[in-house]
Amino acid sequence: MLQAQKSITEIIEKDIKPALMSHGGGIEFVSYDEKEKKVLVRLTGACGGCPFARETLRFQVENVLKGRFPDAVKSVESVD
């Protein structure tokens, strides 16, 4: 596993997932494209069908990952 991918996965599990779980939601790491610097995640639980999922993805996931890994993460997208 790439070091960046490992670090991204750790932040998702330790920092982001607990915040989403506090609202009945969740998140799963799907993949990391090192060339495109893109992270794919799956929002689960209450987050999966929430009308605010887009905002959650941007503010609670993408901003955190970009802030922690500015050279490794340029975008975060959710997949079904």
Q: What is the pLDDT of residues 37-80, one digit of tens each?
A: 999 999 999 998 889 999 999 999 999 999 999 999 999 999 98
Closest CA to 49 of 75, 21, 25: 25
The SS3 of residue 24 is coil
Tell me the average pLDDT across 11-39.
96
**Amino acid occupying residue 51:** P
Q: Is the pLDDT of residue 1 over 80?
A: no
Q: Among 3.40.50.300, 3.40.50.720, 3.40.250.10, 3.30.300.130, what is the CATH number of 3-78?
A: 3.30.300.130
Assigned token pair, 50: 């929430």
The residues spanned by each domain of the chain are 3-78
pLDDT above 80: residue 28: yes
User: What is the reported pLDDT for 75?
Assistant: 97
